[in-house]
Structure 1
Amino acid sequence: MTGHVTAAHERGVTTLALDAPGSRNALSAGLVAEVSDALADCAKDRAVRAVVLTHTGSTFSAGADLKAPPSPYAFVSLLRQIVELPKPVVARVTGHVRAGGLGLLAACDVAVAGPEADFALTEVRIGVAPAMISLTLLPRLEPRAAARYYLTGERFDAAEAARIGLVTQAADDVDAALAPVLDGMRRASPRGLAEAKKLVTARVLETFERDAEDLVQRSASLFASAEAREGMTAFLERRDPVWVL
């Protein structure tokens, strides 16, 4: 593959790497489209038993690309595509994850994060809120932790991410931790995996059916607000927005 996503295949596992380190793997329209196309190819390929979603560079994803964002519907569609893919999607995280990147991570079935990983829901600091990514985050996160990190934008580490349900495991050696997970998936039947995934994702998909349109509209309204314009301008200018006390 070319562009912002690279692919490699080994023993039934296709690894898709977000490969736009110059933009910290920000979720641009182009990157979202490429990930979606790659997942569609994996869904059709009988040789693919599982998908690993990872990254190049020191950042898994910095969240939405403020200069070239995807449409809200395209991003929600990608989140749902990961959840509905008839093959497990496993996140391998060895770097920073911010904002929309956490929604991508939460859409995955299994996630393992290394000691270099850290996380933050930074939306409130630029005048918006984690609206669309709530579709995948809120069914997984411990409620008190969700409230804290939604409201403060604080950074937290891999151990905390595991404690609150964002990732499956924090590990000193991510690849060693993933080895038995991927071996188990290689030993599973394709139909067994697909049907088992339906069971564990049913509650997440209920949120899409119930809330997706409302959250898309809410996100669009927030991003069109004066506060968001100030917040995004301040971010790009590397200064505090006017509301910081």
Structure 2
Amino acid sequence: MRRADRTDPRRACRRRRRAASRRPRERLSASDQSKLLRVSALRIERDGPLLRITLARPERRNAFDAELIRELTEAFSDVGDARAVVLAGDGESFCAGADVDWQRSAIDLSYDENVEDALRLYRMLATIDSCPAPVVARVQGYALGGGSGLVCCTDVAVAAPAAVFGFSEVKLGIVPAVISPFVFPRIGTAAARRFFLTGERFDAETALRIGLVHQLAADLDASVDSLVGELLSAGPEATRAAKRLIRERPDGERAARLAAKLRTSPEGQEGLRAFLDKRPAAWRSGSSS
């Protein structure tokens, strides 16, 4: 009877499962972990003081859906001590706006559900806009609708000469309301009157002229790297303070106090002494130029 028990396939299967559960789990290698990260809607890489956040839905031209919005919000909610962030898109396009399937699912939402859906997008844009570290957009291909809105939330945008932009919402019978608080300060009312009302697409030269992007570059990577080098050559605390200064626009007394605070800070003292001594400041020792 005991011999028969040993050969019982069900008992043997249970023994194998128990043995397997007692084996130590294999740790994923760095390369395997990297492959798992690529399954998500974003790819996040840290390179010293630089953080790279890449929209990783190239098959959808990096269009927004609920998952991408959630992941972008989380990624920009905590950039740690990064001194610069590069926001890019995988494949041929930066971001083609809203994903078609996501838009289709929104058709049946109630008014209140639409409000909450829009607020999630707004919170993502606001989180990027208020990121304490400077954010550089690397723009190629399409940057339409929310994609153009995303560019407006970055501090500096470098675009390929063939990039295409547009606020095309009115073509769909809707309006670019959620992105508008970030677009108006970037391109102004005059440009918004034309491109919000017509919904027409426009080229990179026009985007440069209206202030949507700051630079056109045939070699995007080289230009972005050069710009990042400039950012890293500045004092880390001063850079973050300068970004807050732009956002908060303090009055005379508050501005004077801010200037005094930075001048008397360890970083300010080091920067001034380095300038007078004609030597690189301490924070530049680990920066690439």
Q: Which amino acid counterpart does residue 90 of structure 2 have in structure 1?
A: T
Counterpart contact for 1:24–1:62, Cα < 8 Å: yes
Task: Tell whether 2:215 aligns with 1:184.
Answer: no
Counterpart contact for 1:6–1:18, Cα < 8 Å: yes
Return the alpha-carbon distance in structure 2 between the equivalents of residues 200 and 32 of structure 1.
25
The match for 1:134 is: 180
- Partner SS state of residue 68, structure 1: helix
Write the mapping of 1:196-207 to structure 2, written as runs, cut at 5 A. Answer: 196-202=242-248
- Partner SS state of residue 176, structure 2: coil
Return the alpha-carbon distance in structure 2 between the equivalents of residues 179 and 57 of structure 1.
19
- Partner SS state of residue 90, structure 1: strand
Task: Tell whether 2:197 aligns with 1:160.
Answer: no
Task: Identify which of 58, 66, 77 aligns with 1:29.
Answer: 66
CA apart distance, 1:111: 0.4
> Could you say which structure has the larger radius of gyration?
2
Q: Which amino acid counterpart does residue 241 of structure 2 have in structure 1?
A: E
Structure 2, unmatched stretches of 5+, are 1-36, 104-115, 250-289
Return the alpha-carbon distance in structure 2 between the equivalents of residues 151 and 194 of structure 1.
36
Deviations, residues 144-198 of structure 1 (Å, cap 9, x unaligned): 2221111112111111101101111122222222233211221222221111001
Task: Tell whether 2:74 aligns with 1:55.
Answer: no
Q: Which amino acid counterpart does residue 6 of structure 1 have in structure 2?
A: R
- Partner SS state of residue 181, structure 2: helix
Q: Which amino acid counterpart does residue 41 of structure 2 have in structure 1?
A: H
Task: Identify which of 62, 65, 82 aligns with 2:99.
Answer: 65
Return the alpha-carbon distance in structure 1 between the equivalents of residues 100 and 225 of structure 2.
36
Q: Which amino acid counterpart does residue 59 of structure 1 have in structure 2?
A: S
- Partner SS state of residue 185, structure 2: coil
Aligned length: 200
Return the alpha-carbon distance in structure 1 between the equivalents of residues 78 and 246 of structure 2.
23
CA apart distance, 1:66: 4.2
The match for 1:12 is: 49
- Partner SS state of residue 166, structure 1: coil
Deviations, residues 83-115 of structure 1 (Å, cap 9, x unaligned): 211101110001111111111110000000012
RMSD over aligned CA atoms reads: 1.7
Task: Identify which of 126, 151, 154 aligns with 2:197.
Answer: 151
CA apart distance, 1:142: 3.7
The match for 2:264 is: none
The match for 2:131 is: 85
Deviations, residues 189-233 of structure 1 (Å, cap 9, x unaligned): 222111100122337xxxxxxxxxxxxxxxxxxxxxxxxxxxxxx
The match for 1:124 is: 170
Question: Looking at both structures, which has the greater relative contact order when contacts are Cα pairs under 8 Å and sequence separation is at least 6?
Answer: 1
The match for 2:221 is: 175
CA apart distance, 1:23: 1.8
Structure 1 vs Structure 2: percent identity of aligned residues?
Answer: 40
Return the alpha-carbon distance in structure 2 between the equivalents of residues 118 and 127 of structure 1.
21
Return the alpha-carbon distance in structure 2 between the equivalents of residues 101 and 179 of structure 1.
22
CA apart distance, 1:134: 0.5
Q: Which amino acid counterpart does residue 48 of structure 2 have in structure 1?
A: R
Q: Which one has a larger percent helix, Structure 1 or Structure 2?
A: 2
Counterpart contact for 1:83–1:201, Cα < 8 Å: no
**Normalising by structure 1, what TM-score?**
0.77
Return the alpha-carbon distance in structure 2 between the equivalents of residues 64 and 179 of structure 1.
29
Structure 1, unmatched stretches of 5+, are 204-245
- Partner SS state of residue 51, structure 2: strand
The match for 1:40 is: 77
Return the alpha-carbon distance in structure 2 between the equivalents of residues 179 and 138 of structure 1.
28
- Partner SS state of residue 101, structure 2: coil
